[in-house]
Amino acid sequence: MFKILKAEHLAENIILMDVEAKRVAKSCLPGQFVIIRVDEKGERVPLTIADYDREKGIITIVFQPIGASTHQLAELKAGDTILDFVGPLGRPSDLVYEDIEELKKKKILFICGGVGTAPVYPQVKWLHEHGVGADVIIGARTKNLLIYEDAMREVAENLYMCTDDGSYGFKGNGSQRLDALYEEGKSYDHCVVIGPMIMMKFTCMATKKYNIPTVVSMNPIMVDGTGMCGACRLTVGDEVKFACVDGPEFDGHKINFDEAMKRQAMYKTAEGRALLKFKE
Ligand code: FES
């Protein structure tokens, strides 16, 4: 059993939990995920690691209650326990394998949207701890949905906040903020984009325009996170990949987002899942 040490709302419908999971905290790296199961009847839910404290043995997860299992998780409070908390799973972010001195020469930008801001945080923090600066754009539909501003400000070189409705920071989305940065004379050598699928699709189109190699995290498409359900199957260039086994990070300019979004929509309903299984 894994004890919940903290449970709080970061924004409307976005919940943060600190969970005692010593073995996961000991070995996890930015970009990896865990699979949780609240109780024996619960579904397996893959959630990206949003932070870790190796000394205290704590893993932070951030999620939106969407299906039955995440709603069940959302009802738990500090002191309650989670039956399974398995990880770390998935390949860590490519950035952690690069030569630090080479990374220091690069101009790195993270563009994150909504709950996708949480998995960006450990990557920017890891870079900061290794002396590598990175700029970050955090976007959301409106002010109440922005998360991680204070924490990110501590680790980012420059932080740019934006909202679609202009209620906080720049008025516009992450791609429009990127356009504005280029107009101001900025440029980047590497970009990481994490957020809803539609946001990643359009942000990748924008980074392609500026020839910025771009990595996306395909966590939103995962269902069981084990390589068995087939939900996370992707076309990347001319290859077929599974987000949970081969990723979650991929070259954002090679992903067929339209196909991925169609699969994601199908997997939202039991009928859709049955239909996809039948077709395969
Ligand atoms: Fe089921 Fe990857 S999430 S196969």
Antiparallel, parallel or unpaired: β 84-89 and 33-37: antiparallel
| pLDDT bracket for residue 92 (50, 70, 90) | very high
Q: Which atom of ligand 1 is nearest to the CA of 221?
A: 3
ipTM of model: 0.98
Mean pLDDT, residues 58-64:
95
* Candidate from 39-43, 145-149, 178-182 with smallest mean pLDDT: 39-43
* pLDDT given at position 262: 86
**Contact predicate 163/171, CB 8 Å:** yes
Q: Which atom of ligand 1 is nearest to the CA of 232?
A: 2
Enter the CATH code of domain 94-213: 3.40.50.80
Strand ordering across the sheet containing 14-20: 81-82, 2-11, 14-20, 58-63, 45-53, 33-37, 84-89
Same CATH topology for 2-89 and 94-213? Answer: no
Antiparallel, parallel or unpaired: β 45-53 and 108-113: unpaired
More confident residue, 247 or 7: 7
pLDDT digits (tens, 9 = 90+) for 206-246: 999 999 999 999 988 888 788 888 888 999 999 999 998 89
Question: Which of 25, 256, 75, 144 minimizes the C-alpha distance to 243?
Answer: 256
Per-residue pLDDT at 269 exceeds 70: no
Q: How would you class 264 by CB atoms within 10 Å of its CB: exposed for 0-12, middle for 13-18, buried for 19 or more?
A: buried
Per-residue pLDDT at 28 exceeds 70: yes
Per-residue pLDDT at 273 exceeds 70: no
Which ranges constitute the DSSP H helices of 162-269? 174-183, 197-209, 243-246, 257-266
Mean pLDDT, residues 25-49:
91
| Residue from 222, 236, 263, 267 to probe ligand 1 pocket by mutation (most atoms less than 8 Å from CB) | 222
Give residue limits of the domains in the chain.
Answer: 2-89, 94-213, 218-280
Does domain 2-89 fall into CATH 3.40.50.1820?
no
**Contact predicate 201/262, CB 8 Å:** no
| Residue from 91, 244, 268 to probe ligand 1 pocket by mutation (most atoms less than 8 Å from CB) | 244
Q: Residues lining ligand 1, CB < 6 A?
A: 222-232, 242-244
Nearest C-alpha to atom 4 of ligand 1 is from which residue? 227
* Candidate from 218-222, 245-249, 275-279 with smallest mean pLDDT: 275-279
